[in-house]
């Protein structure tokens, strides 16, 4: 995979877009990004054109429109600010995977524990995962959370696994005597 060379300005804008898009659902307006990086919206529009050409950003038309980072954007940033990407181990069918890193974990439908799903965003390929496979994610670097689940679906283009959560453990849950 060729790494994409970004200017500092592009990296800053892309980083901001990634962060803003995590905080809010949907596309991020150019004005919002402009404010965040203290540039004028015209500059942002020009930069977005070049980021679109690099396929790091998609434009979303319409009143709710704006910009969204593509999966490639995350790779390009490689969240490059991290000297050492915090590794969250991933076990597939009981085997620890060496070449796959967990980038992000999104829990969905937490209000219905019996429907609980987790979206696991991988740095690496989701190709070798199949429905019904058992997966253990974690412990995560900060909260030391471990999620056990069964693959319920996947999006190979975005390297996302959808897990049906079978169990979650946080280290604070020591057995009480």
pLDDT tens-digit profile of 134-160? 999 988 777 778 889 999 999 888 888
Q: What angle, 0 to 180 degrees and rounded to 10, lies between the N-to-C axes of helices 41-53 and 30-37?
A: 110
Q: Is 70 in the same domain as 14? A: yes
pLDDT, position 82? 40
Q: Which one has a higher pLDDT value, 84 or 51?
A: 51
Domain harbouring 31, CATH code: 1.10.10.10
pTM of the shown model: 0.48
pLDDT, position 169? 83
| Pairing mode, strands 95-96 and 101-108 | unpaired
**Cα–Cα distances in Å, from 118 out to 51, 82, 149, 167, 176?**
30, 24, 8, 11, 28
pLDDT, position 136? 94
Cβ 139 vs Cβ 88: under 8 Å: yes
pLDDT tens-digit readout, 69-115: 887 887 777 554 343 456 788 899 999 988 777 887 777 655 555 66
What mean pLDDT value characterizes the chain?
81
Q: Which one has a higher pLDDT value, 44 or 3?
A: 44
| In the predicted structure, residue 3 carries a pLDDT above the cut 70 | no
Which of 77, 101, 126 finishes a domain? 77
Q: Is 66 in the same domain as 97? A: no
pLDDT, position 106? 78
Which of 22, 51, 77 finishes a domain? 77
Which of 77, 106, 122 finishes a domain? 77
Report residue 26 as tokens.
């949907």
Domain count, the chain: 2
**Cα–Cα distances in Å, from 85 out to 23, 78, 82, 90, 104?**
21, 9, 5, 14, 12
Residue 101 lies in a domain: yes
Residue 24 lies in a domain: yes
């Amino acid at each position: 995979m060729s790494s994409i060379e970004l200017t500092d300005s592009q990296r800053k804008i892309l980083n901001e877009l990634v962060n803003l898009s995590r905080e809010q659902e949907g596309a991020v307006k150019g004005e919002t990004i402009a404010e965040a990086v203290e540039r004028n919206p015209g500059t942002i529009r020009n930069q977005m054109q070049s980021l679109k050409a690099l396929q790091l950003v998609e434009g979303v038309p319409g009143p709710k429109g704006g910009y969204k980072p593509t999966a490639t954007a995350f790779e390009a940033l490689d969240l490059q600010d991290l000297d050492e990407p915090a590794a969250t181990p991933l076990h597939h069918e009981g085997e620890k995977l060496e070449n796959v890193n967990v980038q992000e974990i999104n829990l969905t439908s937490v209000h219905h524990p019996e429907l609980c799903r987790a979206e696991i965003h991988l740095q690496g390929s989701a190709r070798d995962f199949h429905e019904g496979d058992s997966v253990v994610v974690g412990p995560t670097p900060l909260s030391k959370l471990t999620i056990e689940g069964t693959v319920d679906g996947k999006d190979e283009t975005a390297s996302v696994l959808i897990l049906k959560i079978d169990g979650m453990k946080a280290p604070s849950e020591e057995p009480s005597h």
